[in-house]
Structure formats: C-alpha cells, structure tokens
Chain A
Amino acid sequence: MVKRIAITGGKGGTGKSTISTALAIRLAENKKVLLIDADVDCPNDGIILGIDLKKVQDVENMIPKIDEEKCIKCGKCSEFCKENALIFIKGRVPIVLPERCSGCKVCKLVCPVGAISEEKQIVGEIDKGEKGNLVLLSGKIKPRVEESSLIVNEIRKYISGKEKDYDYILVDTAAGTHCSVISALQGVDFGLAVTEPTPLGNHDLDLILQLMKKLNIKSKIVLNRSDIADGEIIEDTAEKYDSEIIVDVPYSKEIEKAYSQGIPIKHEAIEKIVRKLENGL
C-alpha cells in the first residue's frame, strides 16, 4: 500500500524542502518514491536534488470571455464572482481581470443570456524529472497568477491512477495555510509539520495543526533546529492538537553547509523518520 505523506509546517524557512528531499532520497534507496513539489510559487526541490526537470504538461485555467453583443449588462456575473475578477460598471460590458480569476465558472452559470464562453489561459506547468527510484513532479505557476491551488490540483489529477506505482508519495507543500496548501494536503495519510522552537514557528505550527485537524489529517512534528531555544512551547502546541514531536533535528553546521550548496542532507534524524514510517507511524 502506498503511503502518502505531506511535509508542511506553516512557517516558511523551517526546512520543509530540506526534510522532503532528504527523506525522498533516503527512501528511494530501496523503495519507489514520488516527490511532489507543491510549493508552486517557488519550486526548489529540483535544485536541491540536482534533477533536471522537463515540462510534461501545461496547466490551463478557464477565464470568461464575454460576448459583447449578447451581454445585457445586468452585472450578475460580477455579483457572483467571489474573486472580484469581473468588474461591472452600470451600462457597460463587465471588465475581466484574468489574473484574479480562479476558473470556478460561476459567471458562466449565472449569466441569464449565455453570453459567457470559456477561454483558456495557461497559468503554469507541471515539470517532471527522475533519479533512480525517485520521480519528482514539480508545479510551477506563472508570475502574476494568484491562484496557486490551480497548479496543485492539476498535479493531483496528473497522478491520479498512478499512485499504486509508488511505495511512498511525499508532498512538499508551500508555507502557510492557504488554498494551495489545503489542496496539497488532500488525500494524504498524514502530515509532517516541520517547525522550529521560535515564537514564529510555534504560532504558525498552531495554524497548520489546526488546519490538519479540520481536514481530519493526522499530524506529527519534526522539530528542526531543536536546540536553538526551549522546545517546550512546541510540546504544548503538539498536545493541544493530539500531535507529537517524532524527531528533533539539532542545529548543525553540516546541514547548513549542504543547504547552502543546494544538496540533500544526510542526517540520523532522517533515518529516525524512515524507521517510524516503516513501522507504521
């Protein structure tokens, strides 16, 4: 059975990609691993892993195209648009702001005269690369496009049906708790929240654990740079959400060095996570 694990954490810069890539490389020594870089605004896993990525698919989004002859200038499309992507000025055909559009098509649905058709725009791409047993899928959004979840959802569609080809599917999410992170968390067996014992790390950990609880996803914590401060605040937060710290990663010059060179880290903490995974976390 394939195990699907999200590597997330709330705060940025806590080591999500560092842990994801190290874990992927280590697991791929004897298992088939798919790593998904779902941080589509800044996908970096390919750089750390030294994997050349090639585009396998464009990601398209539907944007509304308004037939100016048919439009009766009622403003219904604008009224229903939650993204403010359709600007309605009385007496005018609505103005479309493509970058704001999430592609939900509600405008087309509510238009009483069928004046809205679908026009495709490319909002990003899915890239793929391989190294031994490891396959990397990396989402990339076009600059200025706001809806990053469009790309993450498309990657999920891309792998659907192929999950069974792998022993492990790791999803490296973006920071935060917004739509693209929620999309990346869909369908995973549990989430590893990578954090650090700082007030910022703790604050954002609280948010991501809260989110995972709402989504009914079990969570475990990787406490990175565990010795830079007292980890007690993190333990309290873990307890609050029935989570637990499964591994401490003390601050280490070797890790920083590997990180600065853009290469995957090797560390006993990774071995510890692997053992936990093998024993059914």
Chain B
Amino acid sequence: MKIAISSTGEVLDSQVDARFGRCSYFVIAEINEESGEIKKTEVVANNSVQQSRGAGTATSEFIGNQKVDAVITGNIGPNSASVMQQLGIDVYQGQGEIKKVLQQFIDKKLVKLGQSNVPKFAGMEGQ
C-alpha cells in the first residue's frame, strides 16, 4: 500500500509536519502490508503551500492524484478531510520523526482521524 506523510524536510529523519495543506513536502512510502517491509520511499514537494487560499483543497487534489491509500499528518481541516473521505483515503495522526512514525503505522499504532480536527485556515497560523 501507498502512504503519504506530511513532512518538514526532504529526508526520512525529518519531522512529520503538523499541517496537511501547508506542509512543505510529502514523503510517499510504499509498504508491503504482509511483511511490513518498506519497499520504496520518495519525496515530493507540495507546491500548494504557495497558495494564499485553498491550500488544503489543492493539496487534497495533489495527494488524490498520487493514488495513495492513507495519509499521515498532524492536523487536517474540514475541506481536506471531506475530500479524503470521499476518495476513501484514511487519515492517521502522527508526530515525530518520519521513519519512526512510518514504523508506528506499520505496527498499527497510529490513530485514525475520523474527521477534521482543526478549523479552516488553521495551517496559516504563524505565517
């Protein structure tokens, strides 16, 4: 299965970015569900971060087109959560180093976010 993790940097030692729509990068990891082996990882820049409005929805579209099965992030807003739900992409909450969080996911230790856990525009704070 394919997982997208919002990331502050371009390496697996980077931290999970708490923001979904306005994270700088996504780490896309392919894992073998049965063996728990990480088959492949790649890093993609999130260009939607530049948008003054609608970064979350643009990011949702980008992630949707990456054909991932799940997303790991800190917080997700209502519009993005709605898109993820309609696409059948599960959203999990994670924090800390990407590679550790990925292992937590493989070990099924992450909590699934049923719906948006922050209001709209929350990712704009501090910008």
Q: Which A residues fall within an 8 A CB radius of B?
A: 78, 83-85, 87-90, 92, 95, 97, 99-100, 144
Contacts and interface: CB of A to CB of B under 8 A. Distances in A.
B57 A100 contact: yes
B87 interface: yes
B61 interface: yes
A95 B86 contact: yes
16 contacts: A83-B53, A84-B54, A84-B57, A84-B58, A84-B61, A87-B57, A87-B60, A87-B64, A87-B83, A89-B65, A95-B82, A95-B83, A97-B57, A97-B79, A97-B83, A99-B79
Contacts of A99: 79
A89 B54 contact: no
A129 B54 CA distance: 37
B61 A87 contact: yes
A82 to B, nearest CB: 9
Interface string B36-78: 0000000000000001011001101100110000000000001
Contacts of B60: 87
Contacts of B78: 144
Contact of B87 (A83, A84, A89): A89
Contacts of B64: 87, 89, 92
Contacts of A78: 61
A268 B34 CA distance: 80
Nearest to A78: B61
Contacts of A88: 61
Contacts of A95: 82-83, 86-87
B94 to A, nearest CB: 23
B81 to A, nearest CB: 11
Contacts of B53: 83-84
B61 A89 contact: yes
Interface in B81-97: 82-83, 86-87
Interface string B94-110: 00000000000000000
Q: Which of A84, A100, A144 has the most chain B CB atoms inside 10 A of its CB?
A: A84
A54 to B, nearest CB: 31
B45 to A, nearest CB: 18
Given A83-B54, A84-B54, A89-B87, A97 B82 contact: yes
Contacts of A100: 54, 57, 79
Contacts of A90: 65
Q: Which of A83, A87, A95 has the most chain B CB atoms inside 10 A of its CB?
A: A87
A92 B54 CA distance: 20
A267 to B, nearest CB: 37
B38 to A, nearest CB: 25
Contacts of B51: 84
A92 B82 CA distance: 16
Nearest to B57: A84
Nearest to B51: A84
A100 B78 CA distance: 11
Contacts of A144: 78
B66 to A, nearest CB: 10
Nearest to A90: B65
Nearest to A85: B57
